[in-house]
Chains A and B, each alone.
Chain A
Amino acid sequence: MAETVKAQLETNRRPRWTIVRDLSVAVAVVVLIWLGLRVLRSETALDSLGELGGKLVQALIGIVLGVVGIWALFIVANSLVELLPARATTVIRPYVFVGPAIVVLSIFLVAPAVGTIIQSFTEVPESEGPLYNYVQAFTDPDIQIALRNNVIWLILAPLGAVLIGLAFAGLVDRVKRESVAKSFIFIPICISGAGVAVIWRFIYEWKPAGTPQIGVLNAIVTALGGEPIPWLQEIPVNTLALIVAFIWVQTGFAMVILSAAIKGVPTELLEAARIDGAGEFQTFRRIVLPSIRGSIITVFTVIAVAVLKVFDIVYVTTNGNFDTDVIANRMFNEMFRFRNFGFATALAVILLVAVVPIMVVNVRNLRRQGIGA
């Protein structure tokens, strides 16, 4: 015991030369990070290395800078705090640990969110009242189409993903090589929205009747004797076509969560039902479904939030043309293409208002299940 107390005391006593050392390390780190940032931002610094060499050196500098830099900053800040008297160190250190996260959150989430809400009311034409952007949002015919599409998405996409995911989760319980089968369903979830858009544009590819179809869907249609259909141009099939692509992505998520929930249903319960003469389907409906209700709600709400924010699939597939627009895509275009910042902020607020109630249901439900906080 005496040993450890002595050790502790020693760590609190700091010879003078460590102060000099720590301070010079701190200065060196800051200078190095600053130099690295200069090189990374410079257009010409790496030109002498040639195109490929310059790119790879830039990658190395960037990755090392980002990864090591953030750690270096914490280490330096901590060693500076330890230079203070021991009591001050104890009081201040938690803020050194929490501070950077809080600063980043304030700059990137809190302040902009407040700014967005304010700007949605203030960035209006001079002759108009503060509600102008919102009145526009709910009367502009294009926005109405986007809102209507969001509602269609909100109904069909979670339903489709949950139904197929549930069916697959229930069925896969009974086959060999279960994990392999699941992986196949699950893979789309790690594909980017842009990738998904390319994959499904290829499925929906249309060639004039009489020429060979290279898209799977029109190949099937023509093989069955039908006319090829321009799936992504024809209203309203095109919105459904986009929703199908989205369901393809989300089913794996639904399946994994629901499969875990199904495995959590006590075996005794299932056996009791079977002994009582319930068929497989009845057991599933009467015993399994009610027991996994919480998980079904979780999956529904998570996919619903993803639906409201869907952007990349729509942006890359149709960019909202032919009546396929959705709010998040519209918001991006208002901001980035048309520079309609006030209107874009109003659309963001509408998105927020739509997301929050679903998140409240989700968090409450998770709490009831004892997952999360």
Chain B
Amino acid sequence: MTAETVEGVPPRIGDAVATATTTAPKRGPSSGWLAKVLVLVIGIAWTVPTAGVFISSWRPEPEVATSGWWTVFAHPFDFTQYTLANYQRVLTTEDMFEAFVNSLIVTIPATVIPITLAAFAAYAFAWTRFRGRSFLFAVVVGLLVIPLQMSLVPLLRLYGDYDLTGTFVGVWLAHAGFGLPLAIYLLYNYISQLPKDIFESANIDGATPFTTFTKLVIPLSYPALASFAIFQFIWVWNDLLVSLVFLGTNPDVAVVTVSLAQLVGSRGAAWHLLTAGAFISLVIPLVVFLLLQRYFVRGLLAGSVKG
């Protein structure tokens, strides 16, 4: 069951945005060839940078170093000019495979942990009464504006004391902490708007607050949970700062963004490797984005309150 089926649930943040990414009826004269040309020009200009990296990643080393990637278009279907060697090389000798797995180890718990903490907290803030409720919620909202740079130095020292630097647990918790204010805020906005009746009837039927939460609140909040999950997933996957500070560059734990930054430092002119590495680092967010664009846009808009 999704929220759409519950009567009385108001439209949410960014629904307009979400529908705007799908096709809407055209308005105004669709005459202008100028509009079409301009859209095409901007579209091409925005695609060329990624396309160049993508094409280069399949070209053999000597060609990448001595000729522009656009020269493949002279004979685009001549498949002898493409090779898998760059990917093989980057995944094995440059530790990118390990980094890719590390990114998954970091990203999945660093998404689920804050979302779980936030869902429980948002539910308690919205539907239970306890002392200090409004004060604590105000603090959470206030924390939205704090840049995470404010936390780095003291946390780095704390992690040093407890041997947490360079551990996955340490980086999960750091990402959880930094993502929590937004998660609570977003989920509170949604959960607090769920119709009151469902909580009353659940209570009458003898459901404890815990089962109400797991059986009703979680399924009904699915759109908000999905929006935040995708936003946080892509945010964590793409993060460089937090991973660099708390996990570091040791290949046992380094994530793809760190590994790619290392590669730029050590092999800055080896474009056949850099392009393949860049593509490995962006394939997961790209797939997630293309499949779940609607939710991502919603999360992004709601995320605009993050400091």
B117 with A116: CB separation less than 8 A: no
CB distance from A116 to the nearest CB of B (A): 5
Is A21 among interface residues, defined by CB-CB distance under 8 A?
no
What B residues does A119 contact at CB under 8 A? 153-154
B206 with A194: CB separation less than 8 A: no
Given A260-B20, A373-B189, A109:B209 Cβ within 8 A: no
For chain B, which range describes its interface: under 10, 10 to 19, 20 to 34, or 35 or more residues?
A: 35 or more
Is B1 among interface residues, defined by CB-CB distance under 8 A?
no
Q: Which of B36, B53, B154 meets A199, CB within 8 Å?
A: B53
For chain A, which range describes its interface: under 10, 10 to 19, 20 to 34, or 35 or more residues?
A: 35 or more
B206 with A7: CB separation less than 8 A: yes
B21 with A171: CB separation less than 8 A: no
A356 with B145: CB separation less than 8 A: yes
What A residues does B31 contact at CB under 8 A? 174
A335 with B129: CB separation less than 8 A: no
CB distance from A336 to the nearest CB of B (A): 7
Given A4-B204, A97-B128, A372:B305 Cβ within 8 A: yes
Is A355 among interface residues, defined by CB-CB distance under 8 A?
yes
Q: Mark B273-285, 1 if CB is under 8 A from A, else 0.
A: 0110110011001
Is B194 among interface residues, defined by CB-CB distance under 8 A?
no
Main secondary structure of the interface of B (DSSP, over half): helix
What B residues does A112 contact at CB under 8 A? 150-155, 158
B210 with A78: CB separation less than 8 A: yes
Given A101-B180, A335-B152, A312:B128 Cβ within 8 A: no
A67-B108, A98-B130, A349-B150 given; 20 more Cβ-contact pairs under 8 Å: A40-B169, A71-B116, A97-B213, A101-B120, A104-B173, A107-B158, A109-B146, A167-B42, A168-B42, A174-B36, A189-B300, A192-B257, A260-B16, A312-B257, A316-B261, A332-B244, A344-B153, A347-B149, A351-B150, A356-B145
Q: Which B positions have Cβ atoms within 8 angstroms of A?
A: 13-14, 16-17, 19-24, 26-32, 35-36, 38-39, 42-43, 46-50, 52-53, 56, 64-70, 98, 101, 104-105, 108-110, 112-113, 116-118, 120-121, 123-125, 128-130, 133, 136, 139-141, 143-147, 149-158, 167-169, 172-174, 176-178, 180-181, 184-185, 189, 204-206, 208-210, 213, 234, 237-241, 244-245, 256-258, 260-261, 264, 268, 271, 274-275, 277-278, 281-282, 285-286, 288-290, 293, 296-297, 300-302, 304-305, 307
Q: Which A positions have Cβ atoms within 8 angstroms of B?
A: 4, 7-8, 10-11, 37, 40-41, 55-56, 58-59, 62-63, 65-67, 70-71, 74-75, 78, 82, 91, 93-95, 97-98, 100-102, 104-105, 107-113, 115-116, 119, 164, 167-168, 171-176, 178-179, 181-195, 197-203, 205, 211-216, 219, 248, 251-253, 256-257, 259-260, 263-264, 267, 270, 274, 280, 298, 301-302, 305, 308-309, 311-312, 315-316, 328, 331-332, 335-336, 341, 344-345, 347-349, 351-352, 355-356, 359-360, 362-363, 366, 371-373
